[in-house]
Amino acid sequence: MTSLEDLISTWAAKFRTHPDGSRLPAHHAACLGCGENNPHGHHLRVHREGDGVVARHTFDERHVGAPGIAHGGAVAAVVDDFYGFLLYLTDGPAVTRNLVLDYLAPVLLGVEYELRANITRTEGRKLFVEATMSEVATSRRVVCSTALFLKVDVGHFLQGEPTGSFGQGSGQ
């Protein structure tokens, strides 16, 4: 099992300069949004684009709400985790304090969507961010979102203990 200290040292190393266009590292291997080893996870793959981040994502049967339509909570989880990649373009970790989603149209299972996010404003510890999700084939926007992240120090993450067995891996 990965110790919390291991996780923290891996995380700290991820706050390096990431060249434009490069793939950004997963938060950790078991992360619900992007961890390679989480069988219930979304396995997000996110790239830097300028001062923002971009990803393509397709929901599947594991994320079903109404038949054929992604559960709104699953969509929110993806958007929240996606915002977590913007943190790599800042000087350190932060956590979601406030997350707002407008579900403009159903997010369909098996349909590819493009996510885009950027930081709109910073104010002390506060990072104000915004994101959109649009269908790749039609460019139709299905979600728009804003959120507030608050910078935290390492002690914040010492409030939990890693559990389970799929936390091991590169986290890349």
**Residue numbers of the site for ligand 3IX (CB under 6 A)?**
7-8, 11-12, 27-28, 31, 80-81, 84, 92-93, 95-98, 126, 148, 150, 152, 154, 156-157
Residue 113 φ/ψ, nearest 5 degrees: -120, 150
Q: Among residues 142 and 147, whose Cβ is nearest to ligand 3IX?
A: 147
Give dist(CA 41, CA 34) in Å, integer.
7
Least Å from the CB of residue 90 to ligand 3IX: 11
Least Å from the CB of residue 23 to ligand 3IX: 16
Q: Among residues 67 and 160, whose Cβ is nearest to ligand 3IX?
A: 160
Nearest position to ligand 3IX, beta carbon: 84
Least Å from the CB of residue 68 to ligand 3IX: 27
CA distances from 36 to 39, 43, 69, 158, 166 (A): 8, 6, 24, 23, 9
- The candidate with the shortest Cα–Cα distance to 30, out of 40, 19, 18, is 40
SS3 label, residue 54? strand
Least Å from the CB of residue 67 to ligand 3IX: 28
Give dist(CA 162, CA 16) in Å, integer.
24
Give dist(CA 42, CA 78) in Å, integer.
7
Give dist(CA 145, CA 131) in Å, integer.
5
Least Å from the CB of residue 77 to ligand 3IX: 8
Q: Among residues 85 and 113, whose Cβ is nearest to ligand 3IX?
A: 85
Q: Among residues 56 and 97, whose Cβ is nearest to ligand 3IX?
A: 97
Six-digit token pair at 157? 């993450």
Q: Among residues 100 and 136, whose Cβ is nearest to ligand 3IX?
A: 100
